[in-house]
């Protein structure tokens, strides 16, 4: 038996010998079956119907159910013989910015369309506060529905790539030769619910602390006496691998930061230049979020022979601009993406907070094997094909039209994003300015930045590529996008730009 997993926002018709499953929260699966023809299929839709601004796709029930009926007819089923089963629509929202009655709306649209089509509903398992796993096989037709308890529903993996394990208690060790910084970090972590298992002032103390206490995350100063933080990181990763957030005056230690990234550091934080309240608050927010992200991990739940259903390939449409976002875990993969680009590629605009403080050093490293121009974006930057433009901290960037040109405008607005540059702002502006001609790529990342931007791109008919969750250890935001049905394709970093080559080009104007 071949096992298949159906992603949100898609439909699937299994063949004999195939078993397809999907996990449901507030989403709904409509299972249709023609018993005589032994043809069956199912949906997994997220929302009931698109509004006037949204592009009709299979993430909407009104589209998915109709498409499934059409595809089953094409496969040999007759609608007059088709019967329906309905599952899902639970009161589970998982922070996806959905209205509280979205499950009820998803159920209602299924009943409305099936009644209008004259398709009898022979079974329903809907509503309540439970999540559900649905498994469908044909020849013979069989549907299995498993429900979770309310306590475990929030942990259900809807993306199909493993439950996102975010520990309730994050333990952290602080390594810094500056006692004031150690005390400051300990206070920040304690006030924000993180448990500090110990502090160390040099590499020798750090080694003993980490081996004994086994923290989930280590914050490590780059510039320490004796063995530097980067040298210690290399040895730590060889003998006792642990997620590490590097801490330094990154402007002065850009090359060391890049070396740390190559050795396995997952994030970077800049020490406060000034100890005024505003600077400390900003640094504290960044520090805590990045340590929590470093503690995050994905526990794979898929069997080795489980295939993922991503849906039919997107129809060709012109792409004039590619906007790219990411943060934790993304620099290495972003380098792979950039070095796969050709001079004929559309302009690329990148918002990545992880590399924001040492962009110059990063670009010098990447451009050694790059066929396109790499630039730190300036104010009112004109976007040209065959070039990539990076938004540097502390700026945010928006794409706008100016006469016959498309430009990138920069703004220093900390209210917009606590971790500039904002992915949401970049994606949303590209969607507003270019509509269907915009392609958004979301890479390895943590947190909510990027999700509302992807919603904007989807609403205006743009294309969305997500880095494949199996390629990165930090796929939390990617998996949330999958759960919301906000994607067209899941691809490895090296595959994304070659994939876009099959679409026609349109000069930005």
pLDDT of 300 over the 60 cut? no
Phi/psi class of residue 174: alpha, beta or left (left: φ > 0; alpha: ψ in -120 to 50)? beta
pLDDT class of 505 with cuts at 50, 70, 90: low
SS3 21: strand
Give the mean model confidence (pLDDT) for residues 163-190. Answer: 88
Q: Which of 150-154, 208-212, 340-344, 411-415 has the lowest mean pLDDT?
A: 150-154
Taking the C-alpha atoms of residue 334 and residue 217, their distance in angstroms, rounded to an integer, is: 24
Q: Tell whether the model's pLDDT for residue 315 goes beyond 70.
A: no
- pTM, rounded to two decimals: 0.85
Task: Provide the phi-psi class of 344: left if phi over 0, else alpha when psi is between -120 and 50, else beta.
Answer: alpha
DSSP 505: B
Q: In this structure, how many other beta carbons lie within 10 angstroms of the beta carbon of residue 252?
A: 12
Q: What pLDDT sits at residue 106?
A: 96
Whether the pLDDT of residue 336 is over 80: the answer is: yes
Among 10, 41, 12, which residue's Cα sits nearest to residue 27?
A: 10
Residue 379: exposure state from Cβ atoms within 10 A (0-12, 13-18, ≥19)? exposed
Closest by Cα among 219, 211, 168, 171 to 195: 171
Please determine, for residue 127, whether its predicted confidence score (pLDDT) is greater than 60.
yes
Reply yes or no: is the peptide bond before residue 54 cis, omega within 30 of 0. Answer: no
- Which of the pair, 387 or 282, is modelled with greater confidence? 387
All structural domains of the chain, each given as residue ranges with its CATH number in brackets, are 2-162 (3.30.1330.200), 171-295 (3.40.50.2300), 313-500 (3.40.50.180)
Mean pLDDT (the chain) is 88
pLDDT digits 0-9 by tens, 419-447: 899 999 999 999 999 999 999 999 999 88
| Confidence category of residue 302, pLDDT binned at 50, 70, 90 | very low
Q: How is 327-349 classified by DSSP, letter by letter?
A: -TT-HHHHHHHHTT--TTSPPEE
Would you say residue 461 has pLDDT above 60? yes
pLDDT confidence band for 159 (50 / 70 / 90): confident
Q: Give pLDDT tens digits for 355-402.
A: 877 888 899 999 999 999 999 999 899 999 999 999 998 899 999 999
> Residue 66, Cβ neighbours under 10 Å: how many?
16
Q: What CA–CA distance (Å, rounded) separates 291 from 218?
A: 8
């Amino acid at each position: 038996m071949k096992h298949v997993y159906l992603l949100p926002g898609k439909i699937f018709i299994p063949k004999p010998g195939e078993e397809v499953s999907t996990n449901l929260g507030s989403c709904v699966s409509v299972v249709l079956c023609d018993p005589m023809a032994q043809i069956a299929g199912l949906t997994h839709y997220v929302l009931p119907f698109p509004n006037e601004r949204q592009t009709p796709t299979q993430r909407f029930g009104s589209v998915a159910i109709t498409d499934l009926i059409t595809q089953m007819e094409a496969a040999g089923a007759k609608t007059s013989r088709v019967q329906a089963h309905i599952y899902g629509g639970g009161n589970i929202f998982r922070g996806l910015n959905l209205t509280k009655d979205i499950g009820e709306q998803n159920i209602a649209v299924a009943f409305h369309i099936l009644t209008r089509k004259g398709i009898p509903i022979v079974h329903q398992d809907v509503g309540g506060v439970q999540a559900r796993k649905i498994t469908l096989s044909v020849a013979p037709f069989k549907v299995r529905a498993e429900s979770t308890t309310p306590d475990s529903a929030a942990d259900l993996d809807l993306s199909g790539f493993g439950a996102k394990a975010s520990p309730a208690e994050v333990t952290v060790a602080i390594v810094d030769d500056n006692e004031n910084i150690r005390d400051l970090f300990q206070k920040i972590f304690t006030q924000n619910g993180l448990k500090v298992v110990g502090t160390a002032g040099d590499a020798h103390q750090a080694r003993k602390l980490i081996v004994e206490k086994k923290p989930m995350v280590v914050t490590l100063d780059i510039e320490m006496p004796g063995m530097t933080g980067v040298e210690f990181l290399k040895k730590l990763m060889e003998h006792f691998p642990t997620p590490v957030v590097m801490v330094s005056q990154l402007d002065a230690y850009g090359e060391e930061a890049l070396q740390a990234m190559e050795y396995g550091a997952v994030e970077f934080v800049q020490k406060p230049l000034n100890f005024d309240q505003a600077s400390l608050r900003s640094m504290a927010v960044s520090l805590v979020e990045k340590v929590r992200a470093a503690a995050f991990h994905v526990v794979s739940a898929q069997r080795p022979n489980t295939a993922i259903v991503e849906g039919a390939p997107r129809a060709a449409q012109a792409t004039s601009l590619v906007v790219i976002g990411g943060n934790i875990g993304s620099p290495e993969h972003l380098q792979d993406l950039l070095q796969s680009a050709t001079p004929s590629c559309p302009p690329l605009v990148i918002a990545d907070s992880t590399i924001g403080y040492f962009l110059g050093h990063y670009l010098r490293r990447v451009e050694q094997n790059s066929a396109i121009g790499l630039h730190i974006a300036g104010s009112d930057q004109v976007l040209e094909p065959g070039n990539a433009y990076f938004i540097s901290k502390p700026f945010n960037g928006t794409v706008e039209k100016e006469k016959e040109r498309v430009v990138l405008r920069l703004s220093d607005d900390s209210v917009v994003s606590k971790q500039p540059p904002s992915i949401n702002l970049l994606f949303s502006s590209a969607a507003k300015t270019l509509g269907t001609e915009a392609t958004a790529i979301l890479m390895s990342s943590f947190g909510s930045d990027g999700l509302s931007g992807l919603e904007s791109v989807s609403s205006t008919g743009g294309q969305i590529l997500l880095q494949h969750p199996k390629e990165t250890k930090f796929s939390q935001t990617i998996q949330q996008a999958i759960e919301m049905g906000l994607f067209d394709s899941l691809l490895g970093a090296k595959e994304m730009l070659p994939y876009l080559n099959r679409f026609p080009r349109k000069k930005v104007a």
